[in-house]
């Protein structure tokens, strides 16, 4: 009687982070799991667990609890961590290499369906590193292109979001357009002159306030709420509400001016 072959174990992980404009183009976590299950069946892998993070960004792996559990189990069982694509596994080359190395040292492997990657061999691990770098490069290029296009549209007077960039205001004749705010444009010129002299962002904010320049202010009904809630942005927002220029505001002004 032949001894039944023991199948290699697999842990499936999926991540889905919806975005308003591309939500319909993003494969749901359920669909990703289904694809991964078919992959495991074809490659004769014994699925021992499913994990999925929904509505969470993949920018940082530390903020994905299900991913951490999937990693821990795969390492413990020396299993194959199966994902639909590398973008579901990690969003940066640093994280991709870090977690891939963690799997490798534990005797576990990584399989990505879209890129046909299986890190069980040295050549595949090398290919995985190259693909991770290319994916990150593509994301950064897309983000830079999107930012440039938005700035170009804004410079032509188009409103791109509810929050109008500093230096501009909503056109009183058409809410879909923006027009230059002369006061804020004067402030921007002063910020750039101070920055050009080598002054730090924090010192620029204090200098502007001492010279009588004021930033935008939140409505009274929101100021008290912001102070009471004590969120991570409290310091910057409170400084903004009383008219002071927080260093983060100055930084955004400088970056936006340098991109144009």
What is the domain extent for residue 207?
A: 157-259
Structural domain contains residue 148: no
> Mean of the pLDDT values across residues 46-56?
90
The verdict on residue 152 lying in a domain is no
Same domain membership, residue 205 and residue 103:
no
Indicate which CATH number applies to the domain containing 90.
Answer: 3.40.50.1390
Instruction: Give the single-character DSSP code of 245.
Output: -
User: Are 12 and 128 found together in one domain?
Assistant: yes
Of 98, 132, 166, which residue sits at a domain end?
Answer: 132
CA 95, CA 84: separation in Å to the nearest integer? 17
- Asked if residue 164 and residue 122 are part of one domain, the reply reads no
For the stretch 149-195, pLDDT in tens is 666 666 666 666 667 777 778 878 887 787 888 888 888 899 999 99
CB-CB contact of 105 with 74 (8 Å): no
pLDDT of residue 173: 82
* CA 159 – CA 15 distance, rounded (Å): 32
Quick one: 123 and 175 in the same domain? Answer: no
Q: Is residue 215 part of a domain?
A: yes
> Which pLDDT belongs to residue 82?
95
Q: What average pLDDT does range 61-86 have in this prediction?
A: 91
Q: Are residues 122 and 174 in the same domain?
A: no
Query: Residue 19 domain-assigned?
Result: yes
pLDDT for the residue 222:
43
**Who's near 252: CB < 8 A, 6+ residues apart?**
166
Q: What is the pLDDT of residue 225?
A: 47
- Tally the domains of the chain: 2
Q: d(Cα 5, Cα 27) in Å, to the nearest integer?
A: 34
* pLDDT tens digits along 228-258: 444 444 444 444 444 567 777 788 788 777 6
What is the tens place of the pLDDT at every residue in 78-133?
A: 999 999 988 888 877 778 778 888 888 898 989 989 888 887 766 666 666 666 66
Q: Are both 254 and 205 inside the same structural domain?
A: yes
* Higher local confidence (pLDDT), 123 or 48: 48
What pLDDT is stored for residue 241 in this prediction? 45
């Amino acid at each position: 009687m032949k001894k039944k072959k023991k199948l290699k174990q697999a842990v499936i992980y999926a991540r889905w982070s919806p975005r308003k404009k591309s939500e319909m183009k993003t494969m749901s976590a359920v669909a990703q799991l289904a694809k991964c299950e078919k992959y495991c069946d074809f490659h004769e892998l014994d699925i021992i667990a499913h994990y999925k993070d929904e509505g969470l960004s993949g920018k940082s792996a530390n903020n994905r609890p299900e991913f951490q559990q999937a990693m821990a189990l795969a390492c413990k069982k020396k299993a194959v961590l199966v994902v639909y694509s590398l973008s579901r596994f990690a969003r940066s080359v640093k994280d991709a290499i870090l977690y891939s190395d963690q799997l490798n040292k534990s005797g576990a492997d990584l399989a990505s369906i879209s890129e046909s990657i299986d890190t069980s061999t040295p050549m595949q691990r090398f290919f995985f590193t190259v693909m991770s770098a290319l994916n990150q490069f593509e994301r950064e290029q897309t983000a830079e292109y999107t930012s440039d296009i938005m700035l170009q549209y804004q410079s032509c007077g188009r409103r791109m979001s509810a929050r109008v960039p500093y230096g501009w205001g909503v056109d009183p004749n058409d809410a879909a357009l923006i027009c230059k705010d002369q006061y804020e444009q004067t402030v921007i010129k002063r910020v750039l002159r101070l920055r050009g002299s080598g002054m730090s962002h924090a010192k620029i904010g204090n200098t502007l306030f001492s010279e009588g320049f004021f930033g935008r202010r939140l409505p009274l009904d929101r100021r008290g709420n912001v102070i009471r809630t004590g969120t991570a942005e409290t310091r910057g927002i409170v400084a903004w509400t009383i008219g002071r220029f927080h260093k983060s505001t100055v930084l955004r002004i400088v970056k936006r001016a340098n991109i144009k």
